Chains A and B, each alone.
Chain A
Amino acid sequence: MASITFREVEGSSLKYWMLFGGIGLFVLFGFLSYLYMHHHGHVVTGMDNQIVWGLPHVFAVFLIVAASGALNVASIASVFNKPMYKPLAPLSAILALALMLGGLLVLVLDLGRSDRLIVAMTHFNFKSMFTWNVFLYSGFFALVGIYLWTMLDRNVKAYSKAAGTAAFIWRLTLTTGTGSLFGFLVARELYGTSMLAPMFIIMSFAYGLAIYLMVLVAAYAWTGRPLGDAVMMRLKSLLAVFVAAVLYFVVVYHLTNLYFAKMGSVESFILRDGGIITTLFWVGQIVIGCAAPLVILLSSLGRQRSWIMIASALVILGGIAQMYVTIIGAQAYPLDMFPGMTMKSSFYDGVIHQYSPTMAELFLGLGGVAIALLATTFAVKVLRLLPANLDDATVAKLEH
């Protein structure tokens, strides 16, 4: 098998520093938003007693789910032993770490008392799915970190497959844990199903790969390194499969709910009467996030790199919409305390809860995205993560 040269991005051009500064600006806005929210309390956000997880959590959960999926390419290389993916693996691992960092930062900074994070690290209730997730996230950093080390250091390269397999199993467990944060809740009608765990796994595959594709193409285009179509075509077909699988899970999930008469009302809310939630479901999640990318990726348009980028961007936007519907939609629908009866009262019963995110929440969420991108931009400058050449001829040699 031919060897491949990894090289750092030079990162001394004006373009690099402008990119760095631009992303850094969003990190700064995110930090300022956090200070503002922390100083005044969540009273300055759109969150209230009914909507307790707002837009920052939408971004946080999206990034955490995407982090797990971004490791996909590395897993294919080491666990499933596909040589073509091996040069792509280091970027996959660093992106996974960066996205997890961004997601966790937003999650932590959106806590009502983020200054008490130390409590979460010193007091554990092992019956809580949240606690399990704390360990899953920490373990993810450790395992993917070790995996990355085995890829970058020749002395420990022999352990790469073992580390990759451990990271692969861990990330599947992690996304199961993230899905189960919702799946283990019986009080909200849209949750309380084991379906959410595998659905989150397949969502992670799609979101992570879409982000990976965009970062890969941007990195190669901006550094002037050759990136052949062989890699792109393989990855875009994979993306199409993942997006189709997400659509399949969404359809089965809602069809199952519709089959149960007691779920009719909440399904009507999501699918027909939910206003912005319904719009985000049909336009954001289904059309932008699934249908349009599938049409692009499976048609002749999918052979053009620019269209693959558009499809990836649509998958990402659709993913955020899907998270919004999943997290905000479930809270907006009122609790059903008297099943079978129409509830009307002076206290929000039977009333759809309204939620208007503030700019501070939006920028805190975007700050998490920016942290992930900034960490990746910095990592490719200081570490040898990107192959110097990924043209078709080089990739072809890897497979023989």
Chain B
Amino acid sequence: MRLGLVIDLDVCVGCHACAIACKEWNASGTIGPLSDYQPYGAEPSGVWFNRIRHYEMDEYPNNKTVNFPMSCMHCEDADCVTVCPTGASYKRAEDGIVLIDQDKCMGCNYCSWACPYGARELDRSSGTMKKCTLCVDRIYDQELPVEERQPACVLTCPAHARMFGDFDDPDSAVSRTVRERGGFPLMPELNYNPTNTYLPPRRKPVIPVDTQPKSGLKESIKQFANKLVRR
């Protein structure tokens, strides 16, 4: 099994609901708390497993805003796992989720250097490294109804821009969607083989924005006459 997320960049509206839901679930989950620094200060910051980035593609008038949620990619060949000296970072054989054993992490932060996606989150209060767990404490919870055994971010997304599933199963919804929509992993050239996949944004027709030349008196009379006739 290879669990991961599909994120539809065409649909994501950048509302940050997934980030909030992630923080809410995980702050009270097995890995929490996720520290906040100066939450009511001038520059609040803190530990977030899921961060939404906003990019502007091309120049006006051909521009398009792309909202890009980013969290741990749960790579097949995760360099953060390779470099961890104590083995605190590990990849589960049964479902491919990359986790950090909070009791074995000594806060050397070396994994943060190795992750090319910047997905590692240094908790400066606990002194350990943290990251997306794919809500491992949710997706296997037998107490929850089956339809709720999904990561918090997937459940909460109002635009249904996020999907969760098994990429090893060619008939799973995530595998089919990736096939049909031409899903792509981020930075495949590094060969870390990230599990999370993005669906590309569709191109929209360009809205003409050229200013019309100012018409003369003759043209104005003609337009006025046309308007009357049309009535």
Q: What is A's interface to B at a CB cutoff of 8 Å?
A: 41-43, 45, 47-50, 52-53, 111-114, 116-117, 119-120, 123-125, 127-131, 134, 181, 184-188, 331, 335, 337-339, 343-347, 349
The one of A48, A123, A346 that contacts B124, using a Cβ cutoff of 8 Å: A48
The one of A49, A131, A349 that contacts B53, using a Cβ cutoff of 8 Å: A349
Smallest CB separation, A357 vs chain B (Å): 14
A188→B111 CA distance, assembly (Å) = 12
Smallest CB separation, B17 vs chain A (Å): 16
A47→B129 CA distance, assembly (Å) = 13
A124 cross-chain contacts in B, Cβ below 8 A:
85-87
Chain B residue with the shortest CB-CB distance to A350: B55
The one of A111, A123, A185 that contacts B108, using a Cβ cutoff of 8 Å: A111
The one of B112, B126, B190 that contacts A186, using a Cβ cutoff of 8 Å: B190
- The size bracket of the interface on B is 35 or more
A112 touches B87 (CB 8 A): no
B106 touches A130 (CB 8 A): no
The one of B88, B110, B114, B122 that contacts A49, using a Cβ cutoff of 8 Å: B122
A347 touches B53 (CB 8 A): yes
A121→B130 CA distance, assembly (Å) = 22
Among the interface residues B35, B118, B121, which one has the most CB atoms of the partner chain A within 10 A?
A: B118
Q: Quick one: which of B93-124 are within 8 Å of A by CB?
A: 104-110, 112-118, 121-124
The answer to whether A112 and B108 touch (CB under 8 A), given A49-B122, A345-B53, A347-B53, is yes
Q: Is B128 an interface residue (CB 8 A)?
A: yes
The answer to whether A128 and B124 touch (CB under 8 A), given A343-B55, A346-B53, is no
A41 cross-chain contacts in B, Cβ below 8 A:
124-127
Smallest CB separation, B144 vs chain A (Å): 31
Chain B residue with the shortest CB-CB distance to A44: B124
A130 touches B56 (CB 8 A): no
A130 touches B125 (CB 8 A): no
A343 cross-chain contacts in B, Cβ below 8 A:
55
- The 24 sampled A-B contact pairs (Cβ below 8 Å) are A42-B107, A42-B127, A45-B124, A49-B121, A50-B118, A52-B112, A111-B106, A112-B105, A112-B109, A112-B126, A113-B107, A113-B126, A116-B105, A119-B106, A120-B106, A124-B86, A125-B87, A127-B82, A131-B85, A331-B113, A335-B118, A337-B116, A337-B186, A347-B51
